[in-house]
Structure 1
Amino acid sequence: MPTSPAHSSAFADGKILMGKTGDGVGTITFNNPDKRNAMSLEMWEGLGEALVALRDDQDIRVVVLTGAGGKAFVSGADISQFEQSRHNAAASEAYAQKSAAQRALLAAYPKPTIACVRGFCLGGGLQIAMYADMRFASEDSQFGIPAARLGIAYGYEGLRNLVSLVGPSQARLLLYTGMRIDAAEALRVGLIDRMMDADQLMPATLDIARTIAANAPLAVQAAKITIAEVLKDESRRDMDAIKRIGDACMDSDDFREGRRAFMEKRKPRFKGR
């Protein structure tokens, strides 16, 4: 079984790579190592294309996001574009709108996502990681939001996700100071879910992704939908959506297959229906 994906498609002039491991796991690699994978507008567009391709691929059940080069997941936005595209409030708003569709796509992604972080995960890169369902990081990773040092405001969605993970006081500490924290501290405050040796990070992440991919897709989707609704204000929760996916699980062929496999003491073969 392979421990790393084969890249099968490239977007944004090769700065976004898409791969498949052959066992239900898709990968997206930020491939701009000369700039520590800093995100340009073109890379945001390429990320959207890769996300859509994996979303629409019926063989893909889990998506892993990672960075090339071993030095960074994503070190933030490409600051070289700021003078032209983010020099004032109006330009910054136009810049944000150009990546809004991709951010919304990742935030509401229907399949499980895992951010596999090695090295720098800063600013907009941390926002990408926080959109993922889970974050696994190497021991040499660093996290931070340097917005205060650049004189810019970190957006609402990024802050909402940050506060939901680490709480308001830790969010204030990170935002007010612009400080960086290491992986051990990120694990302690809840910003990441697992910390491991750098050489074990991708193999371990793919093992967990394969475990998820081998489970019943409707049951995994039910968990994803229900947790998302739990995190909303009570007045905004869609209880009908929770009931629909619960009923779909109970009426599915996969539920019958799971019961039969249990009785026959064999591994189930789930098909997502």
Structure 2
Amino acid sequence: MSDHLLVERNGAIATVVLNKPQAHNAISIDMYRDLPAIMAELDADKDVKVVVLRGAGQKSFASGADISEFEQERSDAAKAKNYNAHVAAAEQAIENVSKPTIAMIHGYCIGGGAGLAMACDIRFADERAKFAITPAKLGLVYSLESSKRVVDLAGPSRAKWILMSGQQIQAERALQLGLFDELFPVEELEKATYEFAELITTRAQFSVRAGKVMVQKVVAGQVRDDEATTDLRNSSFDTEDFAEGVRSFLEKRPPRFEWS
């Protein structure tokens, strides 16, 4: 695994750290290459219920892809095809984890960093955070999948503005556009993020993950229940968590969900 990716575990919460603070956590091809295996491992770990993605320190989530590698790794279309495949695989790996994912965003969330953050389910940022998608500044073309994530969050017209301008968007405006979900003072972001992650770990995990599936299907264009979504909903009534949820409500106590 790349030395620039760290995995930390604290109870049911795992944190993946982009660990290049000396370069504002710029993402190297090795980091992109290693992220799918890391996310697969955390997804398979029954002790993990929530995954937090963050940058090292408080200056940057990630300042983008490591441009110092471009001459070597993206110097022509053939090399770029390989590089872009690793980027897409990393973003898809984050997006497809069955468990909730939260991007904790300090400071810069630019380019490739924005791509990883948008692949997460939820984005919490500090009040000085800056968001930008910058292919228009580099003569590049953003992928369809990544572009769709911008559209899903901000809408078509605003997505065009974001992609065409490449401008940095201040935290408050990013919140208004739907790019961030919550803003916190710099010194409170970490506490707020992990408190929310801890809250999710106390909920019925079957319900949490099924909710993620349902939203993904809606975003993909499904508007009516089919056999798969109906079966998913109905199967919840056979879970021990459903029985515990009812028991705890009747007994007027907090539930103790155990499914993982």
2:166 aligns with 178
Alpha-carbon distance in structure 2 between the residues aligned to 1:205 and 1:163:
25
In structure 1, what is the Cα distance between the partners aligned to 2:27 and 2:109? 12
Matched with 1:157 is 145
1:123 alignment partner, one of 100, 111, 121: 111
1:198 is matched with 186
Give the deviation of 1:175 after TM superposition: 1.4
* Equivalent-residue separation in structure 1 for 2:154 and 2:55 (angstroms): 23
Task: Choose which of 6, 13, 17 in structure 2 pairs with 1:17.
Answer: 6
The whole-number CA distance in structure 2 between the counterparts of 1:245 and 1:210 is: 25
Identity across matched positions, percent: 40
Q: Which amino acid aligns with 2:244?
A: E
Distance in 1 (CA, whole Å) between partners of 2:89 and 2:156 is 27
Q: What is the aligned counterpart of 1:51 among 39, 49, 73? A: 39
Contact 2:64/2:109 (8 A) holds in 1:
yes
CA separation in 2, counterparts of 1:104 and 1:240?
25
CA contact (8 A) 1:114 1:136 kept: yes
Matches for 1:96-107 after TM superposition, within 5 Å: 96-107=84-95
Give yes or no for contact 2:65–2:113 (8 Å, CA) kept in 1: yes
Corresponding residue SS for 2:109: strand
Match for residue 239 of structure 1? Answer: 226
**Who is 1:4 aligned against?**
none
The equivalent of 1:6 in structure 2 is: none
C-alpha separation between the residues in 2 aligned to 1:70 and 1:243?
44
CA distance in 2, matches of 1:108, 1:215: 20
TM-score by length of 2: 0.95
Which stretch of structure 1 is more off in the superposition, 57-66 or 93-102? Answer: 93-102
Contact 1:106–1:132 at 8 Å: present in 2 too?
yes
Deviates more, 1:83-92 or 1:153-162: 83-92
Look up the SS of the partner of 2:15 in the other structure.
strand
> How far is the alpha carbon of 1:101 from its aligned partner?
2.9
C-alpha spacing 1:217/1:37, structure 2 compared with 1 (3 Å): same
Runs of at least 5 residues in structure 2 that lack an aligned partner in the other structure: none
Distance 2:229 2:145 in 1: 23
Q: Which residue of 2 aligns with 1:94?
A: 82
Cα RMSD after superposing both structures: 1.5
Residues 155/58 of structure 1: CA separation in 2 closer, same or farther (3 Å cut): same
Is the contact between residue 123 and residue 147 of structure 1 (CA under 8 Å) also seen in structure 2? yes
- Give deviations 1:233-266, integer Å, cap 9, x for gaps: 238x772332222122111011001111111122
Aligned residues of 1:257 and 1:269 also touching (Cα < 8 A): yes
For 1:16, the aligned partner's letter is L
How far apart are residue 230 of structure 1 and its match? Answer: 1.0
The answer as to 2:59 corresponding to 1:71 is yes
Aligned residue for 1:255? 242
| Secondary structure at 2:36 match in 1 | helix
Q: Which structure 1 residue ranges, 5 or more long, are not aligned?
A: 1-10
Question: In the aligned structure 2, how far is the partner of 1:238 from the partner of 1:41?
Answer: 40
Letter in 2 for 1:241: A
Q: In 2, Cα distance between the equivalents of 1:27 and 1:176? A: 33
What's the offset of the Cα at 1:271?
Answer: 1.5
Please give the TM-score of this superposition, normalised by the length of structure 1. 0.91
Q: Residues 229 and 35 of structure 1: is their aligned pair in 2 closer, same or farther, counting only changes over 3 Å? A: same
Residue 123 of structure 2 contacts residue 181 of structure 2 at CA under 8 Å; is this kept in 1?
yes
- Aligned counterparts of 1:37 and 1:172: Cα–Cα separation in 2: 27
